[in-house]
Amino acid sequence: MGVLDVGGGKRLALNGPDEPDDLFYLDVKAVVFTPIDRSRANGIVVLYNSSKIGPGNGTDQRALIYRVEADRAVRQPAIEERLEGVKNAAEARAKLARVRS
């Protein structure tokens, strides 16, 4: 999906969503750097719309969540599930704040 430039010439790969490229349109709505769990370390939240192409089409609001480590960015599927349907950054931060409590 993308690359995170962490400075000093170091880049971390961000794995993309699970939807097949040829069946969905993906439209990124927001990228947020915010604490994602009780550790209070910043993570990356990518909010996007996933629209299916063809019969049974529709649009869902989804999220990709990454914990940024020294040498990689790791997706957090359990947190992604909690943010399913979130429409904006404020709503994502509010839900994540409840997770961190």
User: DSSP letters along 68-79, please?
Assistant: E-SS-EEE-HHH
**Per-residue DSSP letter, 37:** S
Under the banding of pLDDT at 50, 70 and 90, the label for residue 100 is low
Strand partners, 28: 48
Here the tokens at position 83 are: 């943010």
Q: What percent of the chain has pLDDT over 70?
A: 95
- pLDDT by residue (tens digit) across 9-24? 888 888 888 777 667 8
pTM of the full structure: 0.83
Q: Helix, strand, coil proportions of the chain in percent (round to 5)?
A: 20, 45, 35
Q: Is the pLDDT confidence value at 39 over 70?
A: yes
